[in-house]
Structure 1
Amino acid sequence: MKQISILGCGWLGFPLAKALLENGFSVKGSTTSEGKLAELKALNIDPFLVALDSKSITGSIENFLSGSKTLVIDIPPQLRGKNSDSATANEKVFVEKMKTLIPYIEKSRIENVLFVSSTSVYGKANGTITEETIAKPDTESGKQLLEVEALLLNNPNFKTTILRFGGLIGEDRNPITFLAGKENLENPEAPINFIHQEDCIGIILKIITTDSWNEIYNGVCPFHPTRETYYTQKATELVLPLPQFNHSRPSNGKLILSDKVETVLGYTFIKTEL
Structure 2
Amino acid sequence: MKKIGIIGYGWLGTRIGERFSENFEIFTTTTSPQKLEDIRSKGIHADLAFFSEEKNEFPELWNSITELDIIIITVPFSERRTSKEILEKKLSSLFSFTGKFEKQIFFMSTTSVYPDKPGIFTEEMQPSENVFVENKIKEAFPHINILRLGGLMGDGRLLKNFKISDVSGVVNHIHYEDIAAIILKMIEKNSMGKIYNVVAPLYPSKQQVLAVQNNQDIERTNQDDYKRIISSEKLISELEYTFIYPDPKSFHEGRNINLL
TM-score normalised according to structure 1 size: 0.78
Give the whole-Å Cα distance in 2 for the aligned partners of 1:45 and 1:57.
Answer: 25
Give the whole-Å Cα distance in 1 for the aligned partners of 2:58 and 2:96.
Answer: 11
Aligned partner of residue 236 in structure 1, secondary structure: coil
The total of aligned residue pairs comes to: 243
Aligned to 2:39: 40
Aligned to 1:252: 226
Percent identity (aligned):
29
Aligned partner of residue 15 in structure 2, secondary structure: helix
Aligned to 2:116: 124
Aligned to 1:261: 235
2:125 to 95, 118, 133: 133
Q: CA deviation at 1:103?
A: 4.2
Aligned to 2:150: 166
Q: CA deviation at 1:112?
A: 2.3
Q: Which structure 2 segments of 5+ residues have no match?
A: 249-260
The answer on whether the counterparts of 1:53 and 1:100 sit within 8 Å (CA) in structure 2 is yes
Query: Are positions 1:222 and 2:206 aligned together?
Result: no
Aligned to 2:26: 27
* Inter-CA distance 207–49: structure 2 relative to 1 (3 Å threshold): same
Give the whole-Å Cα distance in 2 for the aligned partners of 1:119 and 1:201.
Answer: 17
2:105 to 113, 120, 127: 113
* Inter-CA distance 258–62: structure 2 relative to 1 (3 Å threshold): same
2:93 to 76, 87, 100: 100
Letter in 1 for 2:63: N
List aligned pairs for 1:59-74, cutoff 5 A. 61-74=61-74
Letter in 1 for 2:209: Y
The answer on whether the counterparts of 1:124 and 1:253 sit within 8 Å (CA) in structure 2 is no
Give RMSD over aligned pairs: 2.8
Q: CA deviation at 1:93?
A: 2.1
* Inter-CA distance 33–61: structure 2 relative to 1 (3 Å threshold): farther
Give the whole-Å Cα distance in 2 for the aligned partners of 1:229 and 1:135.
Answer: 32
The answer on whether the counterparts of 1:112 and 1:158 sit within 8 Å (CA) in structure 2 is no
The answer on whether the counterparts of 1:131 and 1:218 sit within 8 Å (CA) in structure 2 is yes
TM-superposition CA deviations, 1:67-87 (whole Å, max 9, x none): 1132111011368xxxx63x6
The answer on whether the counterparts of 1:187 and 1:252 sit within 8 Å (CA) in structure 2 is no
Give the whole-Å Cα distance in 2 for the aligned partners of 1:220 and 1:64.
Answer: 32
